[in-house]
Amino acid sequence: MADAAEPADLNLFEFLSSGHAPTLMRVCLEYWRDHEPGRVLRIVATRRFFERFPFVFDGFANVPGSPVRWTTFDDADEAGMREALDYGSGLIERPEGYNATRVYWSLVEKYCPRLPARHHLLMNLDDLIHQVAAHQRLAGDFSAILFLPGFAYLDDQPSASRRRRVFVGMQSSMLRDRVLAHPQLRTLFVLDEKAAELLQGAGTAAARALGDIEILRIATFVPVADRHAWFDAADVALAPYIRHAGSSGVLMLAASHGIPVISQKFGQMGRWVAEHKLGLAVDPDDPQELAGALRRYLTGPPADYDPEPGYAFARQQSPERFGETLFGALRPYYSGDHAASAGRSREEASF
C-alpha cells in the first residue's frame, strides 16, 4: 500500500504486468543499486505485477535505507482500476484505448503528491499518450518512454485500412504537436531510431534514440534465470509478430547466444534483423514464406549465417548501456543538481 513516509529521488510508474515489463524493471533496479549510491528509487506498480514477478526484486529489501523501495496502489484504487478496464485472460494483459489512459493517468496524478520525488518516470507513454497530449498536469516534472511508434512505419503497411491510417496518423500528430510540448515533460525516450528522427525538432522536448518437429506449448512466463538455457538449446528463435512496430527482447537474447532469428519484416524488428544480419525477416501473413524460413534453419544455421554481427548488436543493447542512457539523462532531475541542468529546456537521451 502506498506510503509517503520516505521521499524518493525518482518515482518509476509501471502499469504493465506482462511483456517486457519485468525484464526492464530488473535492469533498472540493478543499475540503480550499482550506480546511484545514497539515492532512492521507488517503484510504483500494480499489485498484479508484484504477484506475477517476485523474482524481479530478489536481492532487494523494501525497508528504510534501501536504495530501491516499492509500493502498490491502495486496495480501493486497485479494485477500481480492474473494474474499469477489460483485462485480457492471457499472458499479455494490456488494456488499450482512451479509457485505459484515463484510468492510468488518474492514478499517476493521485500518487505523485502522495509519493514525493524529485522526478517521475512513466515507463509506458503508449498507455498515457492521450492525457499527456491534453497537457494534464502532475505534481512535478516527468519523463517517459515510448515503445510502440507505429507512425514511423505507416508507409510499410500498404494494406492498412483507412481507419488504421487515420489512427496512426493521429498518434504522430499528438506526439509532434502536443506531447513534446507538454510543459512538464523533460525527456522522451524513443526505442526506435527511425521514430526518433521523425520526431527530432518537434515540440520542446528532445526525442532521440533510446525433419520431425515436436511442438511444446508452454503457456507461462519464462523466468529470467531460465532464459539462457532455453536459448542455448535452440537452433533458431521464432518471433514473427504481426505488424508490431517496436522491438523485442527476443532479438537481444538470440543475438547474444549466437542463434538466428526469424522475425517479421515490418517495424523496428524487421529493420534491425536486416541491418545487423540477425537472421531472416519474413512476412508472417504468408505461411509459405514462414515455412521456408523454418525449413532453412531447423537443420542448423546455414553456412552463410555469421553470429559475430549478432554478438556486436547484443553488446550495443546491453542492460548496462540501457541503464546508463536512461538514468544518465534523468540524473540532473533526481539528483537535485539544478545548476548542471540550468538553461536547458529539455534533456536529450538516446537508446
Whether 351 maps to a domain, the answer reads no
CATH number, domain containing residue 84? 3.40.50.11930
Whether 240 maps to a domain, the answer reads yes
pLDDT the model gives residue 90: 44
For the entire predicted model, the pTM comes to 0.62
Whether 56 maps to a domain, the answer reads yes
Whether 348 maps to a domain, the answer reads no
Verify that 258 and 198 share a domain, yes or no.
no
Written as nine digits, the cell of 88 is: 485480457
Whether 133 maps to a domain, the answer reads yes
pLDDT the model gives residue 162: 61
The closest alpha carbon to 143, from 196, 179, 107, 92, belongs to: 179
Q: Print the domain residue range for 291.
A: 224-316
Verify that 60 and 50 share a domain, yes or no.
yes
| Mean pLDDT, rounded, for 129-144 | 87
pLDDT the model gives residue 207: 44
Model confidence at 213, in pLDDT bands (50, 70, 90)? Answer: very low
Whether 346 maps to a domain, the answer reads no
Verify that 132 and 250 share a domain, yes or no.
no
- What total number of domains does the chain contain? 2
Q: Is pLDDT larger for residue 227 or for residue 87?
A: 227
CA distances from 15 to 63, 104, 251, 274, 336 (A): 23, 7, 24, 32, 27
Lowest mean pLDDT among 89-93, 100-104, 128-132, 183-187: 89-93
Cα–Cα distance, 77 to 13 (Å, whole number): 15
Written as nine digits, the cell of 264 is: 517479421
pLDDT the model gives residue 12: 97
Whether 152 maps to a domain, the answer reads yes
Verify that 289 and 204 share a domain, yes or no.
no
Verify that 160 and 235 share a domain, yes or no.
no
Verify that 135 and 53 share a domain, yes or no.
yes
Verify that 175 and 307 share a domain, yes or no.
no
Verify that 263 and 331 share a domain, yes or no.
no
99 sits in which H/E element: helix 98-114
The closest alpha carbon to 237, from 220, 214, 257, belongs to: 257
The rounded percent of the chain whose pLDDT value lies above 70 is 72
Verify that 48 and 155 share a domain, yes or no.
yes
Whether 306 maps to a domain, the answer reads yes
CA distances from 194 to 55, 149, 151, 159, 284 (A): 34, 9, 10, 21, 22
pLDDT the model gives residue 112: 94
**What does 249-265 look like in DSSP terms, one character per residue?**
HHHHHHHHTT--EEEES
| 6-61: pLDDT as tens digits | 789 999 999 887 778 888 999 999 999 999 999 999 999 999 899 989 999 999 99
| 262-309: pLDDT as tens digits | 888 878 888 888 888 888 888 877 777 877 887 777 766 666 678 888
Verify that 245 and 196 share a domain, yes or no.
no
Verify that 199 and 235 share a domain, yes or no.
no
Verify that 23 and 111 share a domain, yes or no.
yes
Backbone torsions φ then ψ of 236, nearest 5 degrees: -155, 150
